[in-house]
Chain A
Amino acid sequence: MSKQPSELEKSALVDASPEASKPGVQTLRERFQEFLQLLELNNKVLKIISDMEEKSQGNYLFDNKYILNMLDELNDALGKIIEIMIYIGGDSYRELRERFNKINSSIDSLMPGNQKVEEEVFVLPLESIGREHAQTMGSKNANLGEMKSKLDIPVPGGFGISSWGYKRFIDSNDLQTKISELIKSTDYKKNEDLKESAEAIRAMILNSPVPSDLVDEINESYHKLIAPLEYKKISVRSSAIGEDTLHSFAGQYYTFINVSENEITNCYRMILASKFTPRAIYYFLSHLITESDLAMGVCCQVMVDAQASGVAYSHNPVDKSDDSINIYSIYGLGDYLNSGKLSPDYFRVSRKDGTVIDRNIADKPVRLVLGESDGAIEEPVPENMRNTPSITPEHIAQITGYLLKLEEYYGFQLDIEWAVDKSGELYLLQSRPLHILDIRDDLVEPDMSSAKMLSKRGVVVCPGAGIGPIYHVTARPNEVLEIPQGVVLATKNPAPWLILTMERISALVTEVGGVANHLATIAREYQVPTLASVKNVASIPEGTIVTVDATKAIIYEGEYQDLVKARETEDIFDDVEVFNLLERIMKKISPLNLINPGDPNFQIQNCRTLHDIMRFAHQKAIVELFRGERFEKRRKWSEMYLKTDLPVKINILLLEGELKKYKIKRGISNKEIQSVPFCAFWKGVNQQGWQNQKKIVERYSIISKIETWATGDRESEYSKKSFVILGSNYMLFSLHLGYHLMTIESMITPEPDKNFVKLQHKGGGASRERRIRRIKLISSVLSLMGFEHHSSGDVLDTTLACESDECMIEKLSIIGRLTMMTKQLDMALGNDRIAEWHTNDIIRQLGLGAKES
Chain B
Amino acid sequence: MKQTILIVDDEPDMLTLLSRIIALKSSYHVTTTINALEVPGLLENNQYDLIITDLHMPGYSGIDLLRQVREQNRHEEVIIITAFRSFESVSEAISLGAYDYITKPFSREQILYIIEKVMRWQRAKKSESEMNAILEMKPFEIAADAFKKQYIHYLMESELNDPKELSGISGLPVDDFISE
Q: Is the CB of A576 within 8 A of B11?
A: no
Q: Is the CB of A570 within 8 A of B24?
A: yes
| Nearest Cβ on chain A to B29's Cβ, whole angstroms | 11
Residues from chain B with a CB closer than 8 A to the CB of A249 are 12, 34
| Contact status of A66 and B105, CB under 8 A, knowing A191-B41, A572-B21 | yes
Q: Is the CB of A283 within 8 A of B20?
A: no
Interface residues of B in 19-55 (CB under 8 A from A): 20-21, 23-27, 33-38, 40-41
| Contact status of A286 and B57, CB under 8 A, knowing A61-B18, A572-B21 | yes
- A551 is an interface residue with CB less than 8 A from chain B: yes
> Which of B12, B20, B105, B159 contacts A248 (CB under 8 A)?
B12
Which stretch from A17-25, A102-110, A432-440, A840-848 is at the chain B interface? A432-440
- Tell me the complex Cα distance, A444–B108, Å: 14
- Tell me the complex Cα distance, A190–B111, Å: 30
- A3 is an interface residue with CB less than 8 A from chain B: no
Interface residues of B in 87-143 (CB under 8 A from A): 104-109, 111, 116
Residues from chain A with a CB closer than 8 A to the CB of B40 are 190-191
| Contact status of A283 and B10, CB under 8 A, knowing A278-B35, A576-B17 | yes
**B interface, over-half SS:** helix
How many residues does chain A have at the interface if contact means C-beta atoms less than 8 Å apart? 44
- A60 is an interface residue with CB less than 8 A from chain B: yes
- B172 is an interface residue with CB less than 8 A from chain A: no
Q: Is the CB of A61 within 8 A of B17?
A: yes
- Tell me the complex Cα distance, A60–B14, Å: 11
Across the interface, name the chain B residue whose C-beta is closest to A55.
B105
| Nearest Cβ on chain A to B114's Cβ, whole angstroms | 12
Q: Is the CB of A191 within 8 A of B27?
A: no
Residues from chain B with a CB closer than 8 A to the CB of A443 are 25-27, 116
Q: Is the CB of A440 within 8 A of B108?
A: no
Q: Is the CB of B24 within 8 A of A191?
A: no
Q: Is the CB of B35 within 8 A of A282?
A: yes
Interface residues of B in 49-67 (CB under 8 A from A): 57-59
A39-81 interface code vs B (CB 8 A; 1 in, 0 out): 0000000000000000100011111111001000000000000
> Which of B37, B104, B106 contacts A194 (CB under 8 A)?
B37
- B144 is an interface residue with CB less than 8 A from chain A: no
- Tell me the complex Cα distance, A824–B22, Å: 62
Residues from chain B with a CB closer than 8 A to the CB of A61 are 14, 17-18, 21, 104-108, 111
| Nearest Cβ on chain B to A527's Cβ, whole angstroms | 14
- B72 is an interface residue with CB less than 8 A from chain A: no
Q: Is the CB of A576 within 8 A of B13?
A: yes
> Which of A60, A279, A444, A578 contacts B13 (CB under 8 A)?
A578
| Contact status of A191 and B35, CB under 8 A, knowing A61-B104, A442-B27, A443-B26 | yes
- Tell me the complex Cα distance, A437–B20, Å: 8
| Nearest Cβ on chain B to A110's Cβ, whole angstroms | 15
- A526 is an interface residue with CB less than 8 A from chain B: no
- B84 is an interface residue with CB less than 8 A from chain A: yes
| Nearest Cβ on chain B to A372's Cβ, whole angstroms | 40
Interface residues of B in 133-175 (CB under 8 A from A): 159
How many residues does chain B have at the interface if contact means C-beta atoms less than 8 Å apart? 37
> Which of A282, A283, A438 contacts B24 (CB under 8 A)?
A438
Across the interface, name the chain A residue whose C-beta is closest to B32.
A249
Across the interface, name the chain B residue whose C-beta is closest to A283.
B34
A242-263 interface code vs B (CB 8 A; 1 in, 0 out): 0001001100000000000000
Residues from chain B with a CB closer than 8 A to the CB of A570 are 24
Residues from chain B with a CB closer than 8 A to the CB of A444 are 25-26
> Which of B20, B25, B33, B108 contacts A279 (CB under 8 A)?
B33
| Contact status of A463 and B59, CB under 8 A, knowing A191-B35, A443-B26, A576-B16 | no
A431-464 interface code vs B (CB 8 A; 1 in, 0 out): 0000001111111110000000000000000010
Q: Is the CB of B36 within 8 A of A282?
A: yes
> Which of B10, B20, B34, B38 contacts A191 (CB under 8 A)?
B38
Q: Is the CB of B83 within 8 A of A65?
A: yes
Residues from chain A with a CB closer than 8 A to the CB of B83 are 65
> Which of A59, A190, A248, A445 contacts B37 (CB under 8 A)?
A190
Residues from chain B with a CB closer than 8 A to the CB of A576 are 13, 16-17
Q: Is the CB of A463 within 8 A of B10?
A: no
- A193 is an interface residue with CB less than 8 A from chain B: yes
Interface residues of A in 13-38 (CB under 8 A from B): none
Residues from chain B with a CB closer than 8 A to the CB of A352 are none
| Nearest Cβ on chain B to A449's Cβ, whole angstroms | 14
| Nearest Cβ on chain A to B139's Cβ, whole angstroms | 39
Across the interface, name the chain A residue whose C-beta is closest to B26.
A443
- Tell me the complex Cα distance, A578–B14, Å: 9
Residues from chain A with a CB closer than 8 A to the CB of B107 are 59-61, 463
- Tell me the complex Cα distance, A285–B20, Å: 25
Residues from chain B with a CB closer than 8 A to the CB of A191 are 35, 37-38, 40-41
24 pairs, CB–CB < 8 Å, chain A vs chain B? A59-B109, A60-B106, A61-B17, A61-B21, A64-B11, A189-B37, A189-B59, A190-B37, A191-B35, A191-B38, A193-B37, A194-B35, A245-B12, A278-B35, A279-B35, A282-B36, A283-B12, A286-B10, A438-B24, A440-B24, A444-B25, A444-B26, A576-B13, A578-B14
Q: Which residues of B contact A (CB under 8 A)?
A: 10-14, 16-18, 20-21, 23-27, 33-38, 40-41, 57-59, 83-84, 104-109, 111, 116, 159
- List 12 additional A-B contacts (Cβ < 8 Å) besides A65-B104, A69-B84: A61-B18, A61-B104, A61-B111, A63-B14, A189-B37, A191-B41, A249-B12, A282-B10, A283-B12, A285-B10, A438-B24, A442-B27
Q: Which residues of A contact B (CB under 8 A)?
A: 55, 59-66, 69, 188-191, 193-194, 245, 248-249, 278-279, 282-283, 285-286, 437-445, 463, 551-552, 569-570, 572-573, 576-578
4 smallest beta-carbon distances between A and B, as pairs: A62-B105, A285-B58, A282-B35, A578-B13
